[in-house]
Structure 1
């Protein structure tokens, strides 16, 4: 299970982020701390996999905390979630090794995507002693490198970050699968997943079949093209 520490001084924001994480498969209930110095004390004896870090904190701010974490060589990844949108803060966080940067207010699907992508990257690195360039392009560097086969342009409303994440999940999910099953695996809503499934069908990477069962609407099942 992926262990997350939320460092956020706004109780409502912290609670919303915590509830979202608890709905995601593979993540344990987050620890919430509202103060940077208290977070450092916690990390001394309690290792975590990732920190969801705000920048505007009382006393020591989030960037100072991130710098201190690196000085102490704590083996933890950091995802910045902050209203700070100035280029200095963003550049400082990224140079200090933040794996992603979300500007408040943000779409919760974007946070889901970031966390799910992080979980996939972590598992890929953990389970393989060595990696190929393709492993890196698809599993670790999806935002910059992921492309549909044939460099086909994405329809409006789809993005390459999510496309790469879903592509990775498609390699792992048993066939045939439903929108609901893929939605649970990826951690995105069925509405969002359905748009990407239709795109994969349009470009010939998936086939769709209708399954009629009991009372209710027919269920669509998907298979990967050989």
Structure 2
């Protein structure tokens, strides 16, 4: 169980005299997905700990879209994103922020940073960028396809809750104020370009 593993890690850090933990969590607009629970529990546990801490609330990766919104063999994006959009971030940008904070953590002690993309991408925009069509299936159809694909049992509800949160507009970045640009000290990578490159490389 994720919570048990995180409890063990934090307790071990306290016992070992670790001074500062930088935790990569989930963006604040992600509370409606199933995997948010462990992240929010861990954030609360860190606040109660004897450690200095910094929480990096990462938006979902632009590269993740190659799993949940890649075109099929008929060049259709069928992921049930509805009319929603997702403020994804390049993994490399999130890694750069994590390195910057971890190598000089003191100024960031007790801070929670939201790291979501500047621009939310819809299913129609993803399809247009690839010269594909956007023909979303129902959530039930997506769940059934995921279950039949050999996915692990825990992955099916994770996927379904992600689709639902996107479709209902919870993860378009409008519910949080992003610290990504300030912590990077530069322009973030264009998430749409990252998605297209990842699809073409897969």
Higher Rg of the two aligned structures: 1
**TM-score, normalised by the number of residues in structure 2:** 0.29
Q: Which has the higher contact order (CA 8 A, sep 6+)?
A: 2
